[in-house]
């Protein structure tokens, strides 16, 4: 696989995954549970370079219905896209945003169960939602609901990066395999 194809897979979900996986009615029953916040290398999945989907269902009280909410992902690593009830909220490339707080429009907020999905790059041993837990929440400005705790995750696209080595002249060389 060449570098252009690798970055295409990182930046662009394949096979309409960005429409299917974030949907509220998507069946994630066979996904693995993980306690968040945590970096992906601590999930116990071993060495892995690729894309991972995270999902969390949260119950919102009636008092938050029809209100704009703010979601704070704390300190995520690497590239990610955030979805709420199936709709894209943001796309962050290489921690381009100074903060990771985003508005959830009132039209998406439902009383009862709501779904948060995150498509996240796990590259070179990094990726995930870093601690502390108190930085992972959703709020209306008056009340705060923690998003720490049980999330579901699934590995999707496994990427095979070109191998690299340094030569005696300290040049970086890539072998395309």
pLDDT tens digits, one per residue of 99-147:
688 999 999 999 899 999 998 877 666 677 778 899 999 999 999 999 9
- 164 in a domain, yes or no? no
Taking the C-alpha atoms of residue 105 and residue 102, their distance in angstroms, rounded to an integer, is 9
Domains of the chain: total: 1
Would residue 67 count as lying in a domain?
yes
- Answer whether residue 77 shows pLDDT above 90: no
pLDDT value at 169 more than 60? no
40 within a domain of the structure (yes/no): yes
Q: What CATH number is associated with residue 85?
A: 2.60.120.260
Residue 8 Ramachandran class (φ > 0 left, ψ -120 to 50 alpha, else beta): alpha
Question: How far is 85 from 47, CA to CA, in rounded Å?
Answer: 31
Q: How many Å apart are CA 150 and CA 34, to the nearest integer?
A: 6
Residue 72 lies inside a defined structural domain of this protein: yes
Asked if residue 168 belongs to a domain, the reply is no
pLDDT greater than 90 at residue 95: no
Is 141 part of any domain? Answer: yes
Alpha-carbon distance of 58 to 69, in angstroms, equals 13
Range of the domain at 61: 3-159
Q: Has residue 62 been placed in a domain? A: yes
Helix count and strand count (H, E) for the chain: 2, 15
Question: Whole-model pTM?
Answer: 0.81
Highest mean pLDDT among 1-15, 52-66, 163-177: 52-66
- The answer to whether position 177 is within a domain reads no
């Amino acid at each position: 696989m060449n570098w252009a194809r690798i970055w295409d897979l990182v930046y662009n979900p394949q096979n309409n995954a960005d429409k299917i996986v974030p949907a509220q009615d998507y069946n994630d029953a066979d996904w693995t549970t993980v306690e968040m916040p945590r970096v992906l290398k601590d999930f116990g999945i071993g060495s892995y370079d690729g894309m991972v989907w995270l999902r969390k269902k949260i119950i919102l009280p009636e008092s938050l219905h029809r209100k704009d909410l703010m979601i704070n992902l704390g300190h995520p690593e690497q590239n990610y896209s955030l979805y709420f009830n199936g709709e894209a909220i943001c796309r962050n490339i290489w921690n381009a945003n100074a903060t990771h707080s985003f508005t959830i429009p009132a039209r998406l907020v439902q009383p009862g169960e709501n779904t948060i999905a995150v498509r996240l790059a796990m590259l070179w041993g990094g990726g995930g939602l870093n601690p502390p837990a108190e930085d992972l929440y959703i709020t209306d400005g008056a009340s705060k609901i923690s998003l720490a705790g049980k999330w579901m995750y699934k590995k999707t696209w496994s990427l095979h990066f070109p191998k690299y080595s340094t030569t005696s002249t300290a040049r970086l060389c890539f072998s395309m395999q």
